[in-house]
Structure 1
Amino acid sequence: MTTVSNEAGGTLGPRASLWFSLVLTLLLGALSGLVMFPAAQHLRSLADGRPAQATMRTNGPCMAGGCLVAFEAGGRTVSAELPVGSSGRVRTGDSVDVRYRADDPRVVARAQDVGGGGAMVLAVVSGVVALLFALLAVWSAFFLRRRRRRRPVG
C-alpha cells in the first residue's frame, strides 16, 4: 500500500491515509454539491435577465465572488457584486456585459457566465476528484482489512 510522506521524513500510516482520503472526499464533495452547483444554478437563473453594459470596480479573478460592477438600471446607477462562480480575470475600469433581475438589479451576473460559467466546470471537476478520493478510500479500506486478516496471531 502506498503511504504519504510528510515533511519530517516520516510517512502517514495506512489508517491516516484512509482518513485523509475520506476528509478530502467530504470537502470536495461539499464544494461541488453545496457551493459550486448552486452557484451555477444561480448564474443560469439570470439567462433571461435584462442586459446592461457595466464597468468593473475591482481587479482580479471573480470565481470566489467579491468583484463589483456598476451599471445603469431603471434610470439610476447600481453597484452590485458578481456572484461566486463568475469566470474570467478583470481589471478596474473594464467594460463588461451583464444581465440583472428586473425586480432587483443588485442580482447580476456577467452575460458570458449565464450558462453556468466557471462554477459548473468547477462543480464537475471537484465532484470527479471527490469520487476519485472516495474510490481511493474504499481501496485503502479493503487493503487495510486484508492486511489485518493476514497478520500472524501470537
Structure 2
Amino acid sequence: MANLLWSAFNVVVALGLLYATVQAARLLRQRFGITLAIFFSLGMVLLASRGSSPPAMPNANLLGSLPPGTPLGNGSAINTTTLGSGMKLMMLAEYFETAGVVKPRGLYAAIQGVVIGHRWRPVLGTATQAGQQLRYVAVLEHSWLLLGVPIFKQTQEYTGAMPLAAL
C-alpha cells in the first residue's frame, strides 16, 4: 500500500509543478511576451526531465557473469511473487540439466505493475537444486524516487522455489 501511495504522491507533485509552470508562463506572456514564456516553459520541462529515467530494471544475471565456454541452458523455471499494491516480482531461472543434476546458469528479475516513483535494481542472487525444485535467493535494491530523484534506498531479499521441468 505504501508503494501505491508513493506513486500517487509523485503524480500529484508532478501535476502541481505542471500547474505552477502553466500559471507562471501565462504571467510571463502577459508581462514580457510570448518568447520569454516559451523559453521558461522549455526550461522547466528540461529541468523536470533531468532527474527522470526509465523505471525498468535491467536484465542483469543475478548469478554473475558466465565463464567462456559455458554450455547453453536447456531448461528454465519461473516464479511470481506478489509485492502488494498490484505489483509482482517475476523471477526467471535458466539452468543446464544432465542426468537429473541441475546447474543454474542465470537468475533474472523483473517487476510488473505500476512503478511510478520506484526503481528496482538487482544486486545479487543464488540458485540451488532442492529435489524437483530450484530454490533461489535474490537481493534487490529498491529506490524510492520523487520526480526521478532518489529519496530513499533499501535492500530487500526475496526467496522462493520454482518447480523444474520433468527431469
Which one scores higher on RCO, CA 8 angstroms, separation ≥ 6? 1
Is the structural similarity TM-score above 0.5?
no
What is the TM-score with the length of structure 2 in the denominator? Answer: 0.26
What is the TM-score with the length of structure 1 in the denominator? Answer: 0.27
